[in-house]
Structure 1
Amino acid sequence: MLMQGIRYEKLNFLTSSFSFFQSGIGMREISLDRLRTLVTIVDHRSFADAARVLHLSAPTVSLHIQELEERIGAPLLSRKRGHVHPTAIGETLLKKARHLLADAGQALDDVRRQVQGLEGRVRLGASTGAIANLLPRALEALGRQHPAIDVQITVLTSQGTLGRLAEGSLDIGLVALPQPTMTGLLIKPWRRDPVMAFIPAQWKCPARVTASWLAAKPLVLNDSTTRLSQLSTEWFAAAGHHPAPRIQLNYNDAIRSLVAAGYGAALLPHEAATPSHDPRIVMRPLRPALWRRLGIAHRAGRVESSTQHVLDILWDLRVV
């Protein structure tokens, strides 16, 4: 899964090889077709056979070699006893030509595989909560189905993700909903997960937790830059409470660790498929219920095949 979509090093090699020719023998450019003709003639030791293999006329094959020799300023081939052999200079060019043709073919094959979605690079932005609790399942499925697709993940807030999508430096974003309409971006509902009260197990708590009960307890909440913080503030405010948390973090696993240590209670989303929690933590539903909604965002228009494969797997985790 961690393979690169396009082997840029091969394209760089092609560029450096052309530069070598330019600086070494004063050539303005070299045509891969001409180099292919040279290699084919030497491999078959015949102009006529090369013309047949390349589906070219005999005069065209001769013209290719003539053009190469004129640009280099020296003969590349010699005929002896009815066979064609490379000259010393021809051998030097031949060695480079084989590398160039092989790497050009590989580069085109790599690009073709990316166009077909067989491999590629997909850049994804998401919050720490989504990365920790939702993406591992998607990445595991992607690894089974499309092992040559490399997903590069960046930890971002929803606003940061949308900004990076708009500028073109991300391909997919997992963002909190609702979000305003943004030109050039598609944002579709993806998941609707309940927000639960995460409470130290040693506390006595009701079967359903209200804002009034929770506001009187020490709290560990998400920081104010997150959508979950806004949801929590609105939930408390609807009951007339404005509690001040002991600490605010933007990392849900750290929040859970503090709850497990008895430092305070927290409001966190609970994904149905999330593994069982630390026995030092008790989860309770809220009254009234509170939901965390996430969406999948990507740029409008044509979607590359590798990006579409990732989108398809993410949609399999859809809960709305």
Structure 2
Amino acid sequence: MRELNLDQLRTLVTVADLGTLSAASRALNLAQPTVSLHVSELEARLGVPLLLRGARRVQPTPAGDVLLVHARRLLAEADDAVQAVRRQQQGVTGRVRLGASTGMLVYLLGRVLQDMERAHPEVHVEVSIYGTNDGQAALQAGTLDVALIAPPQAAGDLVVTRWRRDPLMAFLPLGWKAPRRVTPQWLAAQHLIANDSTTRLYRQTTEWFATAGIVARPRIVLNYNEAMKSLVAAGYGAAILPMEGPMEAHTARGVRVVPLKPLLVRDTVIVHRALPLLSGATRSLLAVLKQYRQG
């Protein structure tokens, strides 16, 4: 036996509710012969009469009453399924997996997530800590939807959009005497706390020192910017780190932030898969992230 047809079930329910084929025809915007055909095909498929055709009204048979109970449930679930897909595609509901650095999470993403919550309260954003290389790999593996990372050297089929350009600054202990702008020569003479050699920030700072013909030798090497700031505040040394968010958020932690000379910046891009592959929830997050774009 062929499976039940939802359009035919909807016709049966409408006829039963309105009492006549003509009323159902008008409500469904179908020709009356089409309404009759839907009912007749259902009856032929099940092998039992479903409606008693009276002179003025039609009434369900006992078999029709049984089918109507299930038909209403099936139609409601079908309507719910359609609405769920539409809401997901429109970005009203869903889940987005976002990868970003610790600094981005601490100093910027709080505001982004608040705006996202206000605009799309039924979208759940899962945030994970990722560096550039790991974030790009997670996107290609399908375990991330969006990554906020440094510009990748080879993006492949990923979409890369410029998002932010934040200055890199010298983070110094409060008690240190320092020039108004820190040069490679001055900083190389201090105790240094540096990122490890696997990071993009390490390569940037190494090149910055190299412009002055200097090979810096750090006292401590870490791969966690917030821990580096804690060591700076404790007086262990100086570090070159990005100024993510307002300066007050960094200086409140007991460090002094001084510009570099020559200037050094860190670009952050938004990376994701091609737009046709993105959920509506992901597109909603991208729209909120664009509000925080700056150069």
Shorter-chain TM-score bucket reads 0.7 to 0.9
Q: How many residues align?
A: 292
Partner SS for 2:26:
helix
Match of 2:294 in 1: 319
Summarize the alignment of residues 1-320 of structure 1 with structure 2, pairs less than 5 Å apart.
28-79=2-53, 82-177=56-151, 179-238=152-211, 239-250=213-224, 252-271=225-244, 273-277=246-250, 278-300=252-274, 302=276, 306-320=281-295
Partner SS for 2:71:
helix
Contact 1:211 1:241 in 2 (8 A): no
Does the C-alpha gap of structure 1 residues 71 and 267 become closer, same or farther in structure 2, counting only changes over 3 Å? Answer: same
Tell me which amino acid in the other structure corresponds to 1:32. L
Contact 1:212 1:241 in 2 (8 A): no
Offset at 1:270? 0.6
Contact 1:221 1:248 in 2 (8 A): yes
Contact 1:195 1:292 in 2 (8 A): yes
Q: Distance in 2 between matches of 1:301 and 1:314?
A: 15
| TM-score, length-scaled by structure 2 | 0.82
Q: Distance in 1 between matches of 2:63 and 2:187?
A: 84
Q: Distance in 2 between matches of 1:123 and 1:167?
A: 13
Offset at 1:44? 1.4
Partner SS for 2:249:
coil
Q: Distance in 1 between matches of 2:227 and 2:54?
A: 79
Which stretches in structure 1 are left out of the alignment for 5+ residues?
Answer: 1-26
Offset at 1:299? 3.5
Which digits, 9 at most, give the CA deviation of each residue in 1:120-175, with x for residues without a partner? 54443322222222222222233334444443333322223333434555443222
Does the C-alpha gap of structure 1 residues 105 and 230 become closer, same or farther in structure 2, counting only changes over 3 Å? Answer: same
Does the C-alpha gap of structure 1 residues 95 and 222 become closer, same or farther in structure 2, counting only changes over 3 Å? Answer: farther
Which digits, 9 at most, give the CA deviation of each residue in 1:258-300, with x for residues without a partner? 3323343322101353543335211122233221111222334
Does the C-alpha gap of structure 1 residues 76 and 231 become closer, same or farther in structure 2, counting only changes over 3 Å? Answer: same
| TM-score, length-scaled by structure 1 | 0.76
Contact 2:103 2:244 in 1 (8 A): no
Contact 2:193 2:218 in 1 (8 A): no
Q: Distance in 2 between matches of 1:220 and 1:249?
A: 10
Offset at 1:40? 0.9
Offset at 1:212? 4.0
Contact 2:107 2:245 in 1 (8 A): no
Contact 2:104 2:244 in 1 (8 A): no
Identity of aligned residues (%): 47
User: What RMSD over aligned residues (CA atoms) do the two structures have, in Å?
Assistant: 3.0
Offset at 1:36? 0.5
Tell me which amino acid in the other structure corresponds to 2:181. R
